[in-house]
Copies of this chain bind each other. A is one copy, B any other.
């Protein structure tokens, strides 16, 4: 899906609300033969589905399991496969940090490095997550870069994200990971003139880290790779003519929304409050993105009943969402997170779209099998904003 031709986009028209229920879709419980959505009592979502267009969103190509960053970008009308994400950017997004334009991110590993600079263990014997946090804090306190700030975001075990912040940094610097153990870490070399400062900053970080970590038993050095800057994307306003706002409690999702130029509003602390925030800013924006996280977390935990409960906790807020009075209200997920799978999965995600121009089907329900009877079929997620533009009266006819 490419965005519609610019000359078809009307800069005025109705309002669009998109609620993303993270990890929405699931799979049948092996003993109960129903999915989480099917097991859940969701009278409000079912009522909305029966009054709406219903189908499924195919987030990425068939079989691809979406990460949260690509999943959301697709829902926002961008093709993640065409966006040149560096590894560092993806890691930063995954650590709830959306890069600012003056930042460069790299994926980091703690490693065991000897006095001669030879890497003995590329993962420092896999420290615990707590250890990783302690080591990151030590580096944050102990390293000082010449003319640049930096931020360390701890990850799982030996993993962290390193963000350099300074104006005018190029990012074409090699990885220093020798890829095999028993070899020296590679020197950082700029591949172009504009990246020379970053190579110098990375070298400073690497050298000082060895000093700070010298007394550690295992994690005596760092390996850095995938230096990358924020991808330059059209804003939602440029691409779709939509003044857009994100109302998301978790920073990761506000971060992805910032990548496409959304304003980020203070979300409060519950879906009910997020809906109130949308109401309070109703006149300022054309597109409201609301995000709710709990079903995904329950999916990752593998706790079927917890996911059912998380879905049931969302349901009572649906009337308030609908009564915002948007011309188009869409609810879907950024990917499925089936509890039997513990992780994101590749399955299409249930989708409901309410407007005054839909074709409701009486016997749909808002679950994986119930939406199969709906009128939308399975739509590429990156076409949903365009479909919403049409329903909102924001898209001209193509051709005479």
Contacts and interface: CB of A to CB of B under 8 A. Distances in A.
Interface of A: 1, 4, 8, 27-28, 35, 60-70, 80-81, 85, 90-91, 93-94, 338, 340-341, 343-347, 356-361, 368-369, 372-375, 377-380, 383, 386-390, 395-400
A338 B359 CA distance: 11
A124 to B, nearest CB: 21
B360 A28 contact: yes
A19 to B, nearest CB: 19
A359 B377 contact: no
A65 B373 contact: no
Given A61-B1, A67-B398, A357 B341 contact: yes
Contact of A390 (B65, B68, B390, B400): B65
B28 A66 contact: no
A377 B62 CA distance: 11
Contacts of A374: 372
A341 B94 CA distance: 43
A70 B375 contact: no
B338 A400 contact: no
A346 B28 contact: no
B344 A397 contact: yes
B369 A66 contact: no
Contacts of A67: 397-400
Nearest to A90: B400
Contacts of A378: 377
22 contacts: A1-B62, A4-B63, A4-B64, A27-B359, A28-B359, A62-B379, A62-B383, A63-B389, A65-B395, A67-B397, A68-B400, A80-B398, A80-B399, A81-B398, A90-B400, A91-B400, A338-B357, A343-B397, A346-B387, A361-B369, A361-B372, A369-B375
Given A67-B397, A94-B400, A61 B383 contact: yes
Contacts of A358: 27
A217 B368 CA distance: 65
A359 B400 contact: no
Nearest to A64: B398
B390 A64 contact: yes
Contacts of A63: 4, 383, 386-390, 395
Given A80-B399, A345-B390, 6 more contacts: A1-B62, A4-B61, A28-B360, A62-B379, A69-B399, A377-B378
A65 B357 CA distance: 13
B69 A400 contact: yes
A389 to B, nearest CB: 6
Contacts of A347: 357, 359
A345 B1 CA distance: 19
Contacts of A383: 61-63
A152 B396 CA distance: 26
Nearest to A26: B359
A67 B399 CA distance: 5
A372 B364 CA distance: 13
Contacts of A377: 377-378
A235 B56 CA distance: 33
Given A90-B400, A375-B372, A399-B67, A386 B60 contact: no
A64 B346 CA distance: 27
A400 to B, nearest CB: 3
Which one of A64, A93, A378, A400 has the highest number of Cβ atoms from chain B below 10 Å of its Cβ? Answer: A400
Given A369-B375, A400-B91, A64 B395 contact: yes
A243 B64 CA distance: 21
A398 B70 contact: yes
